Amino acid sequence: MKILTEDYPFIPYFPETIVEEEMMTRSRGFYHHANKRRSIRHFSNRPIPRQIVENIVRTAGTAPSGANKQPWTFVVVSDPKLKSKIRIAAEIEEKEFYKRKITDEWRKDLAPLGTDWKKPYLDIAPIIIVVFRQVYSFDTNKTKRKHYFVMESIGIAVGMLITAIHNSGLVTLTHTPSPMKFLREILKRPINEKPFVLMPVGYPAENVTVPDIKRKKLSEILVWK
Ligand code: IYR
């Protein structure tokens, strides 16, 4: 098969042009904004407008991906019956984790977060976004099409999703009960999709508290060569 690059013309790219002083201000401001984000485990049941959720998912959908396959599906669950099914199934796995699977080291590492098997936020938060990774896809003739670097691509998209949620003034938590197979069944997703992460999204509960964790210093995470 001969592939002609002429068949795929490029289009001009118009970058936003900003002066260095403005770049400095923006990068500092964005860091301060990002640094205010915290994972939240206690939610208000206050509903959130659908359009905000759509904008958040649109933003995640701008992520780069292997061969631009965009190998993701964002399932937004607001139906209380489905949320409750997810909670019941997640708590079964979490109970097993905290009672049997967890190691001593892991228990010690989780102690500052104050977590346990109970996940009431899965009922309380107005929505749960379940992100599925598409291991492959089907084209219009139902032929399997390959996807590339799916884990990397979806990790980037979820990072952008989290940032978009925070930017809109909402809070979330990345939750990965293990195994997560139940999500495909409850949400009736096709066989090419595997659950990647589950994220309750909403407003924080009143007077919510968070663990007193510290971020690593820049010198610990940045290496100049
Ligand atoms: N999935 C469990 C345990 C847990 C594991 C890690 I690694 C965390 O950073 C936090 C929790 C739970 O959600 O409680």
Mind listing the pLDDT tens digit for each residue in 166-177?
999 999 999 999
pLDDT score, position 3: 80
pLDDT score, position 220: 98
Instruction: Pick the closest to residue 89 from 169, 12, 175 (CA basis).
Output: 175
Q: Is 115 in the pocket of ligand 1 (CB under 6 A)?
A: yes
**What is the Å distance from ligand 1's center to 155 Cα?**
17
pLDDT score, position 7: 87
**What is the Å distance from ligand 1's center to 100 Cα?**
14
Distance (Å, rounded) from C-alpha 164 to C-alpha 5? 35
Enter the pTM of the model.
Answer: 0.97
Please identify every stretch of the chain with a pLDDT value under 70, giving residue numbers as ranges. none
Two tokens at 203? 């407003």
**What is the Å distance from ligand 1's center to 171 Cα?**
17
Distance (Å, rounded) from C-alpha 153 to C-alpha 65? 5
Instruction: Pick the closest to residue 124 from 162, 78, 68, 90 (CA basis).
Output: 78
Q: Ligand 1, residues 100, 102, 113, 115: which to mutate, most atoms within 8 A of Cβ?
A: 115
Q: Is 67 in the pocket of ligand 1 (CB under 6 A)?
A: no
pLDDT score, position 130: 99
**What is the Å distance from ligand 1's center to 98 Cα?**
9
**What is the Å distance from ligand 1's center to 163 Cα?**
20
pLDDT score, position 2: 79
Q: Is 110 in the pocket of ligand 1 (CB under 6 A)?
A: yes
Atom of ligand 1 nearest to the CA of 115: 14
